[in-house]
Amino acid sequence: MIKLRLKRFGKKREASFRLVAVNSTSRRDGRPLEELGFYNPRTKETRLDTEAIRARLAQGAQPTDTVLTLLERGGLVEKSVRSSVLVGQKKQVAAREAAAKQAAREAAEAKAAAEAKAAAEAAASAADEAPAEA
């Protein structure tokens, strides 16, 4: 299977990447089938060979997530919602609901404790007044 992925080059701590078409089993920095573009993450500079990329996609090449994002920014691929995003959103909603339930539970416990304390104080004050009057 052919993959569209990034190949690292440049100095230490100053990486730049080439967008390349490679066999899926080859090494990250191995010899590519074709170089299709360039991406510099420090300056956000991107150059893409649109015709070659479209040809590779038409042949069935699979872009990695990072390359897919670059292609979406370049307008070569329509933006799509990835399943990982949907899963993350569901987890966030569930976490918010759990936090709201926990907060409501803690508020109810605090209210019950305050009512119990007030009732105990009222009973204590009533007990103190009763022997004094007798």
User: Considering only CA atoms, which of 79, 24, 69 is closest in space to residue 48?
Assistant: 69
Same domain as 35, residue 10: yes
Pairwise CA distance, residues 49 & 55, whole Å: 10
Same domain as 100, residue 72: no
Report pLDDT for 100: 94
Same domain as 32, residue 11: yes
Same domain as 109, residue 46: no
| Length of the chain (residues) | 134
User: Considering only CA atoms, which of 75, 67, 72 is closest in space to residue 21?
Assistant: 67
Q: Which domain holds residue 75?
A: 2-79
Residue linked to tokens 């105990």: 120
The pLDDT tens digits of the residues spanning 115-132 come to 988 888 888 887 777 665
Q: What are the residue ranges in the chain where pLDDT is below 50?
A: none
Same domain as 17, residue 74: yes
Q: Are 52 and 33 in contact (CB under 8 A)?
A: no
Report pLDDT for 125: 81
Q: Domain holding 21: CATH number?
A: 3.30.1320.10
Residue linked to tokens 């104080």: 121
Same domain as 73, residue 46: yes
Same domain as 56, residue 14: yes
Report pLDDT for 51: 92
Report pLDDT for 132: 54
In this structure, the strands spanning 2-11 and 62-63 are parallel
Report pLDDT for 94: 93
Whole-model pTM: value is 0.58
Pairwise CA distance, residues 92 & 19, whole Å: 33
Same domain as 133, residue 92: yes
Same domain as 102, residue 75: no
Q: Are 19 and 38 in contact (CB under 8 A)?
A: yes
Q: Which residues pair with 62 in a beta bridge?
A: 3
Same domain as 101, residue 41: no
Report pLDDT for 26: 83
50, amino acid identity? T
Pairwise CA distance, residues 4 & 120, whole Å: 72
Same domain as 128, residue 66: no
Domain count, the chain: 2
